[in-house]
Amino acid sequence: MTMGNFLNYPLSRGSLHITSNDVYAAPDFEAGFLSHPADLAPHIWAYKKNREIMRRMTSFDGEVEDTHPPFPATSKAACIDKYDPDVKTIEYSAEDDRILEQWIREKIGTCWHSLYVYHQIGLI
């Protein structure tokens, strides 16, 4: 099972500018992901909340380490490899939070979906 986090209305904005009269010239493009500081906190909260939900499910069979921030093995936030019926709330240290923030900044991307466009232009 996989969970993803999305901000429907991020405050961050990118830019696209024409750089030449040549139609084949590459434009000056900046995606602008996380350029507004208010967009980072919801991603951090959503990652932590989704991870808590998943670890409490009886179908949980461990985390794929490659799909999580590189928490140190000594961290209480380190990935676990099996379900624990006595699972506790995950404790994140200040260092874990820094690792998580850097990981989000490196992994952030876009998600375009046609239903969103249809909603925006009033077709649904």
Residue 93: CB atoms within 10 Å = 14
Which among 36, 43, 113, 119 is annotated as catalytic?
113
Measured CA to CA, the distance from residue 18 to residue 120 in angstroms comes to: 26
113 is catalytic: yes
Active site residues: 113
